C-alpha cells in the first residue's frame, strides 16, 4: 500500500522485478521439459520404477506452481496491468481454478461423448497410437436392443420416483423435531446421523439387516411368523411359515430394498434442510395466520410451505442428483444382481467399461452419455432458476 508514490510511479513498469520473474519462469519451464521428456526418465531409470512415479509427479507439480508464481509477478509488474487492474485481475484469480476444472471436468464430458461413437478397449499400441475405431451410431443402436439397458433405465426411473419420498418424510420429521424441549438439539443431530456415514457403510448395514438368516428383518419376521421347535436331534430350531424373504436375492425386490436403504440418509438430509428453513420462518406471519384461525394442515399448506419454498427446491435438487448418482449402494449391496435386475445406468456403465473382462469403452460411454442427457434436463432447469434469481437480485 504505497500511498507515498506519485500517480506516474504507480503505473510504471518495474523492470527489475519483471526480469527476475522472467528468468525464474524460464528456468522452471526448462526443468519441467527435462523432467517430462522420456529421455530424462530413462536416464534416471525412473520410468520403469513404480515407486518413482509419485515423486516425479510431485516434482512436476512443484515446477508448475513455481512457474505460475513467477508469471504472477511478471504480469503484476507490467504497467499495462497496473493501469487495467480491474479488467485483468479477475482472469488472474480465475486462471488456475478454471483451467484445472476444465481439464478434469469440462473437457472429459466432450471426450466421453466422442468415445461413444467408437469401439475401443481403452488401450494404446506400443507406439502410443490409439487402437480404437470409429463406428458412428453403432453403440446407440446396440443400446436400443439391450434388455439390460432398459432394466437399468427403468430402475433409474424407480429411483427418481421413490427417492422423492425423502422430501415429504424429511419435512414430516423436521416438523416433529421443531420444538424447544430440553435436549432437542441432541435429538436433531442424532436424527441427522445417517447422512454423515459413507454410503458404503449404509449399504453394508442394510445388506446385513436384510439377511434372511440372521438379519434385523428376519428377527422382526420371526416375531410374527416363526416358532422355535425341538427337532429330532433334540436341538432347538426355528421354523417359519412363510420363510423370511431374501430381499436382495430376489429379482423383483432387490431394487426396492436398495432404494429403501438409500432413503435413510437422504431423508436425514431433507430433514436438516427443512429444520433450517423452519427456523427462519417469520413468527409474525404465523401469528397473523393464527389470528385468522388457520391451524394444523391449513396453516402448513398456506403459511408454512410457501415460506419453505427455497428449502423444498434445494431438497428436490439434491434428491434428484442423489437418485441419478446412486452407485455406491448398488456396488456394495448387489453389484447389479440378481441377473442384472438391480442395475442402474451408473452401475451398468461402470460394469460395461471397466468390469471384469469387458472393457467396452465405447459402449460404456454411450450409456454415460444417455445418463448425462437425463441429468442435463435437471441441470438446465436448475441453472435457469438461478439465472432468474440473479436477474431479480440486480
What cell was used for 39?
529421455
Length of the chain measured in residues: 394
Residues 194-213 that bind other proteins (CB under 8 A): 194, 196-201, 204-206, 208-209
378 scored as a contact of other proteins (CB under 8 A):
yes
Between the alpha carbon of residue 106 and those of residues 100, 101, 103, 109, 333, the distances in Å are 10, 7, 6, 6, 31
Choose among 273, 308, 246: nearest CA to 166. Answer: 273
Question: Least distance to other proteins from the beta carbon of 250, Å?
Answer: 20
Question: Least distance to other proteins from the beta carbon of 23, Å?
Answer: 22
382 scored as a contact of other proteins (CB under 8 A):
yes
Q: How far apart are CA 277 and CA 271, in angstroms?
A: 10
Residues 157-196 that bind other proteins (CB under 8 A): 175-176, 178-181, 184, 187, 189-194, 196
Residues 87-146 that bind other proteins (CB under 8 A): 87, 89-91, 93-94, 96-98, 100-101, 103-109, 111-113, 115, 122
Q: How far apart are CA 108 and CA 102, in angstroms?
A: 8
Q: How far apart are CA 139 and CA 119, in angstroms?
A: 8
Q: How far apart are CA 345 and CA 349, in angstroms?
A: 6
Considering only 35, 59, 158, 321, the residue that binds other proteins (CB under 8 A) is: 321
Contact region with other proteins (CB under 8 A), list: 17-25, 137-145, 147-155, 361-369: 361-369
Give the nearer residue to other proteins in terms of CB position, either 26 or 219: 219
Torsion on CA atoms 168, 170, 175, 179, rounded to nearest 10: 180
Considering only 170, 244, 262, 277, the residue that binds other proteins (CB under 8 A) is: 277
Burial of 263 (0-12, 13-18, 19+ CB in 10 A): buried
| 260 sits in which H/E element | helix 254-279
Residues 37-76 that bind other proteins (CB under 8 A): 53-54, 56-58, 61, 76
Burial of 268 (0-12, 13-18, 19+ CB in 10 A): buried
**Contact pattern for other proteins over residues 9 through 38, marking x by CB under 8 A:** -x----------------------------
Question: Least distance to other proteins from the beta carbon of 200, Å?
Answer: 5
Using an 8 Å Cβ cutoff, are 25 and 74 in contact?
A: yes
379 scored as a contact of other proteins (CB under 8 A):
yes
Give the nearer residue to other proteins in terms of CB position, either 126 or 214: 214
389 scored as a contact of other proteins (CB under 8 A):
yes
Give the nearer residue to other proteins in terms of CB position, either 254 or 353: 353
354 scored as a contact of other proteins (CB under 8 A):
yes
Give the nearer residue to other proteins in terms of CB position, either 28 or 315: 315
Question: Least distance to other proteins from the beta carbon of 138, Å?
Answer: 17
Question: Least distance to other proteins from the beta carbon of 162, Å?
Answer: 18
4 scored as a contact of other proteins (CB under 8 A):
no
Residues 207-266 that bind other proteins (CB under 8 A): 208-209, 214-216, 219, 238, 264
Considering only 22, 135, 286, 358, the residue that binds other proteins (CB under 8 A) is: 286
The contacts of residue 344 (CB under 8 Å, 6+ apart) are 152, 155, 156, 159, 326, 327, 330
172-185 burial by CB neighbour count: b if 16+ within 10 A, else e? ebbeebeeeeeeee
Interface size with other proteins, residues (CB under 8 A): 118
Amino acid at each position: 500500500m504505497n500511498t507515498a508514490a506519485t500517480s506516474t510511479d504507480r503505473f510504471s513498469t518495474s523492470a527489475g522485478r519483471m526480469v527476475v520473474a522472467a528468468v525464474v519462469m524460464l528456468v522452471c519451464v526448462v526443468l519441467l521439459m527435462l523432467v517430462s521428456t522420456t529421455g530424462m526418465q530413462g536416464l534416471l531409470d525412473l520410468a520403469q520404477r513404480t515407486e518413482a512415479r509419485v515423486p516425479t509427479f510431485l516434482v512436476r507439480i512443484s515446477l508448475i506452481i513455481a512457474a505460475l508464481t513467477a508469471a504472477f509477478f511478471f504480469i503484476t509488474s507490467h504497467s499495462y496491468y497496473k493501469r487495467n487492474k480491474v479488467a485483468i485481475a479477475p482472469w488472474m484469480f480465475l486462471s488456475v481454478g478454471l483451467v484445472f476444472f476444465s481439464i478434469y471436468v469440462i473437457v472429459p464430458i466432450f471426450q466421453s461423448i466422442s468415445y461413444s461413437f467408437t469401439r475401443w478397449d481403452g488401450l494404446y499400441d506400443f507406439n502410443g497410437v490409439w487402437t480404437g475405431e470409429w463406428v458412428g451410431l453403432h453403440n446407440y443402436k446396440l443400446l436400443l436392443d439391450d434388455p439390460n439397458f432398459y432394466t437399468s433405465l427403468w430402475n433409474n426411473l424407480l429411483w427418481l420416483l421413490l427417492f422423492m419420498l425423502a422430501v415429504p418424510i424429511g419435512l414430516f420429521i423436521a416438523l416433529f423435531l421443531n420444538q424447544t424441549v430440553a435436549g432437542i438439539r441432541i435429538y436433531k443431530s442424532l436424527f441427522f446421523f445417517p447422512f454423515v456415514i459413507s454410503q458404503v457403510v449404509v449399504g453394508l448395514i442394510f445388506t446385513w439387516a436384510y439377511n434372511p438368516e440372521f438379519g434385523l428383518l428376519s428377527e422382526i419376521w420371526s416375531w410374527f411368523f416363526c416358532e422355535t421347535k425341538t427337532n429330532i436331534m433334540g436341538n432347538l430350531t426355528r421354523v417359519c411359515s412363510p420363510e423370511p424373504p431374501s430381499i436382495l436375492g430376489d429379482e423383483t425386490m432387490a431394487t426396492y430394498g436398495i432404494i429403501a436403504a438409500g432413503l435413510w440418509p437422504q431423508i436425514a438430509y431433507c430433514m436438516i434442510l427443512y429444520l433450517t428453513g423452519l427456523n427462519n420462518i417469520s413468527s409474525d406471519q404465523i401469528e397473523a395466520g393464527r389470528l385468522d384461525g388457520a391451524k394444523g394442515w391449513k396453516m402448513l399448506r398456506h403459511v408454512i410451505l410457501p415460506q419453505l419454498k427455497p428449502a423444498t427446491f434445494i431438497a428436490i435438487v439434491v434428491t434428484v442428483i442423489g437418485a441419478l448418482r446412486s452407485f455406491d449402494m448398488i456396488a456394495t449391496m448387489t453389484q447389479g444382481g440378481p441377473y442384472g435386475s438391480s442395475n442402474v445406468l451408473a452401475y451398468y456403465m461402470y460394469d460395461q467399461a471397466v468390469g471384469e473382462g469387458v472393457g467396452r469403452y465405447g459402449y460404456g460411454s454411450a450409456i454415460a452419455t444417455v445418463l448425462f442427457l437425463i441429468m442435463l434436463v435437471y441441470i438446465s432447469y436448475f441453472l435457469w432458476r438461478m439465472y432468474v434469481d440473479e436477474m431479480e437480485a440486480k
